[in-house]
Amino acid sequence: MPRWFLPLIIFSVVVFILEYYAFQAIKTVTKNKIIRWSWLTVGIAVYAYFLFVIFTTPRSAGQTKQFQLAAGMMLTAIIPKILILVILFGEDVVRWVQKLISWAGSQPTKPIAGRRKFISQLALIVAAIPFTSFLYGIIQGRYNYKVLKYQLSFKDLPDAFDGFTITQISDIHSGSFTNKEKIQYGVNMINDQQSDMILFTGDIVNNKAVEMDNWIEMFGNLNAPYGKYSVLGNHDYGDYTSWPSEEAKQANFQAVKDIHPKMGFDLLCNESRYIEKDGQKIALVGVENWGKGGFQKKGDLKKASEQIQQDDFKVLMSHDPSHWDVQVKNDDFNYQLTLSGHTHGLQMGIEIPGWIKWSPSKYVYRQWAGLYEEFGRYINVNRGFGYHAFPGRVGIWPEITVIELKKA
């Protein structure tokens, strides 16, 4: 039996159940055969296209734009139908309970006329919310860049750096880009912040260095008087695609690293730099990717900090926020501010500033989006500039972070 056979059977069963309930809702609400058959035809076309892409795309191709489109269509189609399933199945349970009560009692329970139609209408209205949200996320949400500004105060910040500004971007994922005008708009927003320093915290590509070829000049035009610095992310190692040989994979990895100086970024691979201003200095530390679970653990905090002192004020760049949670925040060497990315906030969730911040990403990462503080040490988890896998963003928008350092 082929390895793909059982997953395909499970997928087919799940799709059948979803489509059965969704079609029951449509059939209850309308008798128009054109609407009914159009519903079925579109659903079948989405599933067929997704399976076609899965079975015809070799792993060596990495994550293609065709796959992203298929995945986006799939999520847009399935998630609303899951809500329909939940609502209609819940109504079925209520009806079954009522029938049991009717059979057990002396008085039969009469069905409420029109209840099924009302519940079906309600299910379709509820399902329309994620459907329209996902469509917006694919068409416009992935370019809905937001500038988030924080002011952080530290007692041990050198006086010369009072008011020093840092713009952080993360997770460019250039292999996903399709619209040069929209990306240019985002890059212009980065420059508009006029920060003293620009820091990029990893994942410049999805898999291959060539993905960045058309974007080097654009990102190379970013300006900051105190320099531009970067680190690597988990996607930069080429681990999520197949290679003809280990030599080819290493050649691609070197090409990825070579992209950074071409854009004017100083790539820190378990290294540090001193940033000097008016005779005073702060330490900038950059580690390679370190992530919990099955991610690369090449980040070496001790090696990266060999050339700096414990009493220096430090800004650490580490792509994966789990590194901060597991190792950095408790380190006696005292890393006052850490900048990470990686999670993308899963590119979908609900955020209303001051009210709610939720995404399924929170069930995987304790620090998944925004600013966190423990023991007087901070981490900012940037939601990412680009997008990956799902070609859009729903509620969790692409982010440009501006942090102003203040003397407490």
pLDDT grade, residue 242 (50/70/90)?
very high
Is the pLDDT at 4 greater than 80? The verdict is no
CATH topology of domain 146-407: Purple Acid Phosphatase; chain A, domain 2 (3.60.21)
pLDDT at 354: 83
Average pLDDT of span 367-373: 97
The helix or strand, by DSSP H or E, that contains position 314, with its residue range, turns out to be: strand 314-317
Is the pLDDT at 322 greater than 80? The verdict is yes
Q: Which of 217-226, 283-292, 318-327, 353-362 has the lowest mean pLDDT?
A: 353-362
Average pLDDT, the chain: 94
Average pLDDT of span 1-9: 79
Express as a percent the part of the chain with pLDDT over 70: 98
Average pLDDT of span 57-84: 92
Average pLDDT of span 141-150: 97
Question: Letter for the amino acid at 189?
Answer: M
pLDDT tens digits, residue range 248-276?
999 999 999 999 999 999 999 999 999 99
Per the CB < 8 A criterion, the answer to whether 393 and 141 are in contact is yes
pLDDT at 7: 82
pLDDT at 108: 59
For the chain, give every domain's residue range.
5-139, 146-407
The helix or strand, by DSSP H or E, that contains position 401, with its residue range, turns out to be: strand 399-407
pLDDT at 115: 80
Q: Is 276 helix (H, G, I), strand (E, B) or coil?
A: strand
Report which of residues 342 and 58 the model is more confident about: 342
Q: Is 165 helix (H, G, I), strand (E, B) or coil?
A: strand
Query: What separation in angstroms does the CA of 179 have from each of 139, 142, 309?
Result: 11, 11, 45
* Global model pTM greater than 0.85: yes
Is the pLDDT at 57 greater than 80? The verdict is yes
Average pLDDT of span 303-327: 97
How many Å apart are CA 126 and CA 116, to the nearest integer? 15
Residue of 170, 179, 168, 169 lying closest to 141 (CA atoms):
179
Is the pLDDT at 8 greater than 90? The verdict is no
